[in-house]
Structure 1
Amino acid sequence: MHIESIPMWEGSGNNYAYLVTDEKTKEAVIIDPANPSEVLPSLKKAVDGGTKVTNIINTHHHHDHAGGNAEILKTYKVPIIGGKDCDKVTKTPSHGETFTIGESIKVKAFHTPCHTQDSICYLFEDGNDKAVFTGDTLFIGGCGRFFEGTPKEMDKALNETLAALPDDTKVYPGHEYTKGNVKFAIKVAQSEPIKKLESFANSNKQTQGKFTIGDEKKHNVFMRLDDPAVQKFTSKTERVDVMAALREAKNSM
């Protein structure tokens, strides 16, 4: 599979859309095309080169992820796969449901309610290549705010659902927030993995697809709730309490 990152950085959100193409059939999906003015040129270039866009996929209903659906549909009249509250959604896959893109890409949907109740992460597999598109649930070195959910739900989303994916699964989040995440993480724990992430973030503007689920388990403090350093920072030991305290501390940065 071919993954093209489309930065949507005209606003302040530093969002990413992703165009994922099955290289055998040239069938492709566009994930979270929230700002059409930045996405449509990339889609046109791909389509002019023989790519066929078959679906829009949304990770959740927030405007900076699903807000471009109506405009994209004017040019590409395709079904929308996404959470139940996403604009113009055609189909909401159930937790664990699978579908295919072209001949080679198998997609599995994982419900990860917390940031929003309709949040869905999507695991894409093509042979040995694995990528997970995590929206605002999992960021490189961080996680989304608990707008519609609880610390317990985020613990489950990160540390049961996503942590169970193969360690070599590359992570493609909805935003480029790594610098801010690692600035917080280094206050929590000064581990070598966190220092390595800090070094990478300081020298690279884009970090999507550069780290794996295995990496996140090492440098993402929200996936290290049992780590003594993390518990010391929060002055908590129960997982849900640690998660709540971490998010509260990050929110107040």
Structure 2
Amino acid sequence: MHIESIPMWEGSGNNYAYLVTDDKTKEAVIIDPANPQEVLPTLKKAVDGGVKLRNIINTHHHHDHAGGNAEMLKSYDIPIIGGKDCEKVSKTPAHGETFTIGDGIKVKALHTPCHTQDSICYLFEDGEDRVVFTGDTLFIGGCGRFFEGTAEEMDTALNKTLGALPDDTKVYPGHEYTKGNVKFAVTVSQSEAIKKLESFVGSNKQTQGKFTIGDEKQHNVFMRLDDPTVQKYTGKTGRVDVMSKLREAKNAM
């Protein structure tokens, strides 16, 4: 499995599209190609080199993730897999439904409603190699805003659905937001894991694929709702209340 990150709107949205290719068959998918003018040159180079683009995959319907679909279809007339509200969507996989890319990559759709109700994260497995594309649900050191959902839904999405994945699963989020997430995290806790993440972002511009679900359980305060230090910061002990207070505080930064 080969993953190529394609940064979009650097300096403003700091989004990522991802081109994922099966090493053997060269079959590939493009995830969240929201800004075609930045994505298409990379795709052309890949396709000219033998890559066979099979699908567009969307993590949710927001414009900065699915808004490039119509334009993309002009160049690549391929099915779109995504949430029910995504532009031009062809298929919405059920929670837990699997499909394959080429011979080697197995993909499982994980419904994670909260940021949007049609939010889907995708677990990609190729042998022992596991990665998850999390859109705007899970960021390195943070999570998405609760635009269409509740604190309870985000707790379920992060800590039950994504938190149940193997600890060695690498995380590929929809945005490069780690610097801002760490800035908030250090106000909540001064744990060694958070300090380590702070040090990493101080010397690395990009963090996608550099951390795992296991790492997130250590340095992501939104995945540490039972941590006494996090509870003390929020003044709450119930998981949903802690989640709610953390998001309110992060929103206010």
2: CA distance, partners of 1:131 / 1:10: 23
Q: Which runs of 4+ in 1 moved over 3 A?
A: none
Sequence identity (%): 85
Task: Write the mapping of 1:149-188 to structure 2, written as runs, cut at 5 A.
Answer: 149-188=149-188
Task: Write the mapping of 1:1-253 to structure 2, written as runs, cut at 5 A.
Answer: 1-10=1-10, 12-253=12-253
2: CA distance, partners of 1:137 / 1:79: 24
User: What displacement does 1:105 show?
Assistant: 0.1
Q: Structure 2 stretches of 5 or more lacking a match?
A: none
Q: SS at 1:146's partner residue?
A: coil
User: What displacement does 1:75 show?
Assistant: 0.4
Give the letter aligned to residue 135 of structure 2.
G
Aligned alpha-carbon RMSD (Å):
0.6
User: What displacement does 1:62 show?
Assistant: 0.1
User: What displacement does 1:12 show?
Assistant: 1.0
> What TM-score, normalized by structure 2, do the two folds share?
0.99
User: What displacement does 1:10 show?
Assistant: 4.6
Q: Which range moved further: 7-16 or 20-29? A: 7-16
Note the alpha carbon deviations across 1:147-166, whole angstroms, 9 max, x for none.
00000000000000000000
1: CA distance, partners of 2:169 / 2:94: 21
Note the alpha carbon deviations across 1:112-165, whole angstroms, 9 max, x for none.
000000000000000010000000000000000000000000000000000000
Q: SS at 1:45's partner residue?
A: helix
Q: SS at 1:24's partner residue?
A: coil
> What TM-score, normalized by structure 1, do the two folds share?
0.99
User: What displacement does 1:252 show?
Assistant: 0.2
User: What displacement does 1:9 show?
Assistant: 2.4
Note the alpha carbon deviations across 1:164-216, whole angstroms, 9 max, x for none.
00000000000000000000000000000000000001110000000000000
Give the letter aligned to residue 197 of structure 1.
L
2: CA distance, partners of 1:39 / 1:113: 27
How many residues of Structure 1 are paired with residues of Structure 2 in the alignment? 253
Give the letter aligned to residue 194 of structure 2.
I
1: CA distance, partners of 2:249 / 2:14: 22
User: What displacement does 1:11 show?
Assistant: 6.1
Give the letter aligned to residue 77 of structure 2.
K
Q: SS at 1:93's partner residue?
A: coil
Give the letter aligned to residue 76 of structure 1.
Y
Give the letter aligned to residue 193 of structure 1.
A
2: CA distance, partners of 1:112 / 1:95: 9
